[in-house]
Amino acid sequence: MSKVALLIAATALLSGCFEPSSQPTVENRSAESRSAVPDAEASIEQIELGRKIYNFRCYYCHGYSGNARTLAATLITPKPVDFTSTSPDTLGKERMLRSIRSGRSGTAMMGFSSVLNPREIEAVADFIIKEFMIGKRENTRYHTEANGWFNHQRYAAAFPFATGKIPLDTPWEQLTPQQAEGKRLFMSSCVSCHDRASTINSDVIWEMRPVSFPRNQYSPSNQPALAGTAHTNKADTSSLDAMTSASPYLLHDRAPVIAGLTASEKRGEELFQQNCAFCHAADGTARNWIGSFMEPHPRDLTSSKAMAGMTRSRLSKVIHEGLPGTSMPAWESVLSEQQVNDVIAYVGRAFHPLAPEK
């Protein structure tokens, strides 16, 4: 699995659609003038603002409890910071503010200066310091009705895999029908945010595939089974959220079937689906779950408007160098020149013809 692909996936939620508060409760001041610990006058409202932003933008890599125990963290190099194992004096608030504003080169940490205002950036830093570094607290439980998770108990069959009670790589033949159903549910609806929790083989590496989340508040029809009653009918597993058409994003995780691809286009297809589809979707529309929540949205490679004037040389430059201010990374140190050309060949064949060079 490409670690760069996970970098893209990790930044996807970090680029979400939280609307910043327009009513500051404390005076905005230069971030660089702040000390290494939260100011004494940092209000509860300020800390809670930081919590709200963190819980929307930062948890994907750093975890809801700040310990970086997430799926993304297991595959990103270098790993996200575990805030619970450091201190304000070690990390330093000024460094935190710079990282939140401008990102950190060579890591998956993107800059948020174009998304958050100075007060919001400081609120996040103060929250991290107070909640994780000093308080060593659990933070908030995410799966609550206030966060849009109604009847979370319907996912009960997956809980043992989320908590590590059952190792995720337990052989299928050793699982009961209910446990097998829970594992399928975990892998289809939970794994992109949860850590793998525990495994028998610590060297297990995830195989990447696009993951689209279920429709908001969708409840499986076989709730009793997911709440603890085993099913013996294998057809019942079809009601699991991300395994059905309940997700409006799922159809975009299906790659187009194209006959007669050239050797280069076939190689490009494999590269695109293993790396680029995480943001651009398997069908190139960027309308999968990840792509729909990124700011700015990834390019819809099937759109005549978005692809207007897109030549081979221009697309090559974008792939090599990335696009500043977006989550499109530079691939020049990851893909060879031939691989870039293969991806370009596939994009031009599968999604939209490329314009002739001027």
What's the one-letter identity of residue 140? Answer: T
What's the whole-number mean pLDDT along residues 16-35?
Answer: 32
**Which segment of 4-18, 82-96, 323-337 scores lowest on mean pLDDT?**
4-18
The pLDDT score that the predictor gives to residue 215 is 44
- Whether residue 352 contacts residue 310, with contact meaning beta carbons closer than 8 Å, is answered with yes
177-195 mean pLDDT: 81
Say if residue 172's pLDDT is above 50.
yes
Confidence of residue 41 (pLDDT cuts 50, 70, 90): low
Which amino acid belongs to residue 14? L
Confidence at residue 194, expressed as pLDDT on a 0 to 100 scale:
67
**Residue 229 has what pLDDT?**
35
- Per-residue pLDDT averaged across 308-337, rounded? 90
More confident residue, 33 or 47: 47
Instruction: Look at 120-124, 258-262, 316-320, 332-336 and tell me which has the smallest mean pLDDT.
Output: 332-336
* Per-residue model confidence (pLDDT) at position 144: 67
CA distance 34 to 177: 56
224 pLDDT higher than 50: no
Q: What is the model's pTM? A: 0.48
Percent of the chain with pLDDT over 90: 33
Cis geometry, peptide bond prior to residue 296 (ω within 30 degrees of 0) = yes
More confident residue, 146 or 232: 146
HEC secondary structure over the chain: CCHHHHHHHHHHHHCCCCCCCCCCCCCCCCHHHCCCCCCCCCCHHHHHHHHHHHHHHCHHHHCCCCCCCCHHHHHCCCCCCCHHHCCHHHHCHHHHHHHHHHCCCCCCCCCCCCCCCHHHHHHHHHHHHHHHHHCCCCCCCCCCHHHCCCCHHHHHHHHHHHHCCCCCCCCHHHCCHHHHHHHHHHHHHHCCCCCCCCCCCCCCCCCCCCCCCCCCCCCCCCHHHHCCCCCCCHHHHHHCHHHCCCCCCHHHHCCCCCCCCCHHHHHHHHHHHHHHHHHHCCCCCCCCHHHHHCCCCCCCCCCCCCCCCCEHHHHHHHHHHCCCCCCCCCCCCCCCHHHHHHHHHHHHHHCCCCECCC
Please name each of the domains of the chain with its CATH number.
3-134 (1.10.760.10), 149-246 (no CATH), 263-350 (1.10.760.10)
Q: What pLDDT sits at residue 334?
A: 86
Residue with tokens 């001027």: 358
Say whether pLDDT at 123 is over 60: yes
pLDDT confidence bin for 262, thresholds 50/70/90: very high
The stretch 295-302 carries a mean pLDDT of 89
The encoded tokens of residue 36 equal 């290494």
354 vs 152, which has greater pLDDT?
Answer: 354
Query: Residue 352: pLDDT above 70?
Result: yes
Q: In the predicted model, is pLDDT for residue 168 greater than 90?
A: no
What confidence category does residue 221 fall into, taking pLDDT thresholds of 50, 70 and 90? Answer: very low
The model's pLDDT over 68-91, given as tens digits with 9 standing for 90+, comes to 877 677 767 788 999 999 988 898
